[in-house]
Structure 1
Amino acid sequence: MKKNMKLFKNRTIQAILLVLAGLFVGWIIFGTSEVPSSSKAEHNHIADAKKQLWTCSMHPQIRKEEPGKCPICGMDLIPLRSGGGSSDIPEGAMQMSEEATALANIQTSVVNRKNPVKEMLLYGVIAPDERSLQSQAAHVSGRIERLYVDFTGETVQRGQTLASVYSPELFAAQQELLEALKMTPAQPQLVAAARDKLKLWKLTDAQIATIQSRGIVSSTVDIKANTSGIVTAKRVSEGDYVPQGGVLFDVANLSKVWAMFEAYEADLAFLRKGDKLSFTLQAIPGKTFNGIISFIDPILDKTTRTAKIRVEVSNPDLRIKPEMYATAKVNARLQQYNNQIVIPQSAVLWTGKRSIVYVALSDYDTPVYQLREVELGPSLGDSYVVLSGLNDGETIVTNGAFAIDASAQLEGKRSMMNDRSTHVMTGHEGHQMQSAKASSTHAMLGVQGNCNMCKERIEKAALGVKGVSSAMWDATAKKLHLDFNASVTNLPVISKAIAKVGHDTEKDKASQKVYDALPECCKYRTK
């Protein structure tokens, strides 16, 4: 007993006992008390932040709170990522870290209003001025005795002798003139009639005077050039017989030529008579020619869907030659779109029916981007006019928009592929989707067509059939991928609906009348 008392009197032992007693009393007082509500909220927030979501690599719209199988394809779900980020960002917006933004090379710019100018490239060739074309014809019938111009491309001058023609009719007419001269005192009107007859055959006054003065009849007559220019076609050879009015040569005056360009029908709305343009020629590198649009063909070529644009060009040194290739640049001012917002082409994502841009939101510590649908006006080459959807001064993503959209798809948010956001699926929703999958049928149907107009027409016809949930036509494989409710419709019904709008399928053939009504670019049948 005394020994125990000595132990308690030891100061070290006393200190240890006091500490143990204090811990025991603290546990009694505070151990059973409730955790403050603020600590609970913080604990719950941390727990929520660590909540793991699961998705399908083939169907990113699937969201589940626990691992399992995808209700659409049956693949194992994969972990998405832990929740987190700012909770005050707008619904559907994408928040990315600074590192992710740098890796995706995301670039932005502030939109503003401009007076848009559409730059167009036109292609064409040089052609002779049709108003300067002349046909050198024989005014009397006869045989070609001699050609003084005997090859295409030779230069001729106005009044130059082109050919010599032997004509029995002209020989007789000259004799009539000489006989009339002998009877001048008695019948002066006969001389005038004989001279007029020779003039009708294009003999000049000098030629007629020579016949009168010499009193000699010539068996041949010279054909003179009506204009100066280049022989573009030689139609006779020596010894040929030509009728009266028969063409010997075609001559073109190339001191003025036409540059004939082709403009697609989509560009015609921006071209006006009187617009200035500049063009270059492959054959004359380094030189730029300027001109004014003098004529726009009112009729389109039904095959190329283009209209001719004419520019008159002076060519005094004859350096510009017909059939040279020309490339023109036109800066068309779109006055009907003045003071409109213009954005770079790289900022736009297309879904077929929607045009999408991503707007960078301010007042956040990390980058936040929100999808915005816009209505586009005409293309300006590397930019677009925006009719609605953006405000002056907003910041948009001009590079890396596709990377943002891909991230939005993986997180089930609104994107170019999803018109509305998805959400975490409950077990009941998963059961409903499995039921829908059981009644949904996927099939492929061979469908003939050519272009994007065909694609839109085919898919619209398929989606117009009740029970069809999706339709996508592959222009390369000529296959239509379909998802439809087999209890509502079937493949033969869909096939007939597509054939009805003019496209042959592997099951049905479109009527010839409907096929003939299709645009030329959609004609797929070989003749």
Structure 2
Amino acid sequence: MSALGKLTAAVFVAGTAGWVGLSAGEKGVTAASLLGMAEMQLAALMGNDAAAMPGTDVPQTEPTGPIIYWRHPDGLPDWAASEATTADGRGFLAVQASEDLSLGPATEPAAELAPVTDVDRAILYYRNPMGLPDTSPVPKKDSMGMDYIAVYEGGDNDDGSVTVSPGKLQRTGVRTSEAVLAPLAASLRVPGIVVLNERKISVISLRADAFIETVADVTTGSSIAMGAPLVTLYSPEIAAALAQFVTDVRSEGRQREGARQRLANLGVPVEVIDRIATEGLASVNIPIMAPRSGVVLERMAVEGMMAKAGEPLFRIADISTIWVLAEVPEGALMNIAHGADVRISFQGLAGAPMTSRIATIYPELDLMTRTGKLRIELPNPDGRLRPNMFADVEIMLDQTPVVQVPEGAVIDTGDRQVVILDLGEGRFRPEPVTVGRRGGGMIEIISGVAAGDIVVSTATFLIDAESNLNAALAALSPPEADQ
């Protein structure tokens, strides 16, 4: 063929290749195969041998590895797990492990890295990348174009455990901790209120009808010392008993002790009785003294008033020690022991909290609030603590050693609590647990974990999700190959 004829043929082949490319794209023919056919045709027209034409820059190597699936001979998106044929009788092409495409960047293998062993294990099936219960016997993509993930033989277990490579453990930040047997630094905060010490409250009243002659210069809130006079009074009944006592004293009669006891029964102070016995003279006005040191809470006595027997005149309380009553929810009472340490702080007082112990646990619950009361005694030498002050009570709970793990190790979904056990060699398994008290960043494990077990303390949700997915897939029937 002449040079002009060869040039004309080359232009014709180029135009034909463009038209064929448009139609070949619809049939799934790749650009590489189309270029190869065009080169073969051009070589034939030019009179050259197709084998002598220059190839691609990348050297062609023989495929290696096991056959992982079969693909359509025309490059269509159609695969099979076993040998298959097209509708026109042509056989599918085998794809070996080295021919499988990867969407990641190509990297040079490092000499120090261990060889990949996944190709040595049989692929059971491919699972949905989003965790949906959908499997495929052959590689495929989901609706968003994501590749299904290969599941290799030995890669999942019926117990929901999962095996994670060391590299993935490091990337996800997985950390483990040991379950320990130790006292739990747990405490309970409850509200409290300051009340008077019931043992140190006195009410001053008369045992006979009397007229109040004078009242001491004390009012509500005044401090008073024990033995200080409060009122002087005149009582006809007491005056008659005094006269009888004076007569018996002067005559040294046998009724002397009986008359003395009668005066004591009427509430005459012992000091007054002793003075009359010594002097032999009766006094018309009888003083009444304070029975204890403290603060006057109430003053009802008024000069000139007529006081009936039993009518209170003063109410006095010793506030050198006070009580704090704390209200504890019903569900927490069983964890509180008599004598447990407490720390008490007051909103209106600066400084460190006061420490004490639980003196009494009341035997009944409040019917409306469903709370129980605890009583704590506190010294109050300077009188800073006053009745009805609010208190914040922190109760140290039972210090018996218990199995405990970090709070971050427990996954609580509301209806279940689990921890991730580290089985060693990169294997993990979720374990249901029963939890108890919390405190100091730790949580008590009642059942499910023993002291010495290794649990995952961070990135627990990632491993739990993976293990739940494996357990769900293991429950599905084995996938069948496409026919």
CA distance in 2, matches of 1:401, 1:408: 11
Q: Is the 8 A contact 2:126 2:150 kept in 1?
A: no
1:80 to 1:404, Cα distance in 2 relative to 1, 3 A: farther
- The answer to whether structure 1 residue 375 and structure 2 residue 427 are counterparts is no
Distance 1:51 1:196, change over 3 A: closer
Contact in 2 for aligned 1:63/1:424 (Cα 8 Å)? no
Change (3 A) 1:257 1:83: same
SS in 1 for 2:203: strand
State the secondary structure of the residue aligned to 1:285: coil
CA distance in 1, matches of 2:170, 2:162: 15
Query: Which position in structure 2 is the counterpart of 1:114?
Result: 181
Specify the SS of the correspondent of 2:363: coil
Change (3 A) 1:257 1:40: closer
Does 2:207 align with 1:139? Answer: yes
Q: How far apart in 2 are the matches of 1:43 and 1:369?
A: 34
Partner of 1:294: 359
- The one-letter amino acid of 1:163's match is V
Which residue of structure 2 lines up, in the alignment, with residue 460 of structure 1? Answer: none
Residue identity matched to 1:247:
P
Instruction: Find the counterpart in structure 2 of residue 63 from structure 1.
Output: 134
Aligned counterpart in structure 1 of residue 228 of structure 2, from 160, 170, 183: 160
| Structure 1 equivalent of residue 405 of structure 2 | 343
Corresponding residue to 2:295 among 224, 230, 235: 230
SS of 1:223 mapped into structure 2: strand
CA deviation string 1:153-181 (max 9, x = no partner): 22121111112334333344445556x37
The separation in 1 between residues aligned to 2:214 and 2:449, in whole angstroms, is 78
Q: 1:89 aligns to what?
A: 155
After superposition, the Cα gap between the structure-2 partners of 1:80 and 1:167, relative to the gap in structure 1 and judged at 3 Å, is farther
The alpha-carbon deviation at position 50 of structure 1 amounts to 10
Alpha carbons 2:209, 2:308 under 8 Å: kept: yes
Size of the aligned set, in residue pairs, is: 373
TM-score, reference length from structure 1: 0.57
Q: How far apart, in 2, do the equivalents of 1:53 and 1:192 lie?
A: 106
Q: Is the 8 A contact 1:49 1:83 kept in 2?
A: no
Give the letter for the 1:327 counterpart. Answer: D
CA distance in 2, matches of 1:196, 1:386: 68
Given that 2:126 and 2:148 are in contact with CA atoms closer than 8 Å, whether structure 1 keeps it comes out as: yes
8 A contact 1:211–1:217 mirrored in 2: no
**Which of 53, 60, 66 is equivalent to 1:38?**
66
**2: CA distance between counterparts of 1:111 and 1:396?**
6
SS in 1 for 2:238: helix
Q: What CA distance in whole angstroms lies between the structure 2 residues aligned with 1:306 and 1:315? A: 27
Which of 378, 381, 385 does residue 320 from structure 1 map onto?
Answer: 385
Partner residue, 2:370: 305
Counterpart CA distance in 1 for 2:175 and 2:213 is 80
Q: Does 1:401 align with 2:460?
A: yes
% identical aligned pairs: 22
Q: CA deviation at 1:83?
A: 1.0
* Aligned CA distance change for structure 1 residues 393 and 202 (closer, same or farther; 3 Å): closer
Question: Post-superposition shift, 1:244?
Answer: 1.4
Q: Deviations over 1:257-284 (max 9, x none)?
A: 2333333343333333333333333333
- Please tell me whether the aligned partners of residues 184 and 444 of structure 2 are also in contact (alpha carbons under 8 angstroms): no
Is this contact kept in 2: 1:140–1:201, CA < 8 A?
yes
Match of 1:3 in 2: none
- Rg larger in structure: 2
- Identify if the C-alpha distance between structure 1 residues 423 and 232 changes in structure 2 by more than 3 Å, giving closer, same or farther: farther
> What is the CA–CA distance in structure 2 between the aligned matches of 1:85 and 1:62, rounded to whole Å?
13
Shift of 1:199: 3.0
Map of 1:430-449 to 2, 5 A cutoff?
Answer: none
CA displacement 1:18-64 (0-9 Å, x = unmatched): 976899xxxxxxxxxxx999345693765979968487xxxx75436
Query: Is 1:128 equivalent to 2:185 in the alignment?
Result: no
Give yes or no for contact 1:375–1:386 (8 Å, CA) kept in 2.
yes
CA distance in 2 between counterparts of 1:89 and 1:49 reads 9
1:254 aligns with 2:282: no
What whole-Å deviation, never above 9, does each CA across 1:72-91 have from its counterpart, x for those lacking one? Answer: xxxx9766652137654333
Aligned partners of 2:68 and 2:463: how far apart in 1?
Answer: 35
Determine helix, strand or coil for the equivalent of 2:95.
helix
Look up the equivalent residue of 2:183 and give its one-letter code. Answer: P
Distance (whole Å) between structure 1 residues aligned to residue 277 and residue 230 of structure 2: 21
Question: What is the one-letter code of the residue matched to 1:110?
Answer: S
Change (3 A) 1:117 1:391: closer
Displacement, 1:205? 5.2
Give the letter for the 2:66 counterpart. Answer: S
Alignment of 1:501-512 (within 5 A): none
RMSD: 4.6
The gaps in structure 1 that reach 5 residues or longer are: 1-12, 24-34, 67-75, 428-527
Distance 2:465 2:258 in 1: 94
Check whether the contact 1:49–1:82 (CA below 8 A) recurs between aligned residues. no
- Listed one character per residue, the Cα deviations across residues 136-165 of structure 1 (whole Å, up to 9, x for unaligned) are 222322233433254322212111111233
TM-score normalised per structure 2: 0.61
- State which of 266, 279, 284 in structure 2 corresponds to 1:201: 266
Whether contact under 8 Å (2:321, 2:377) holds in the other structure is: yes
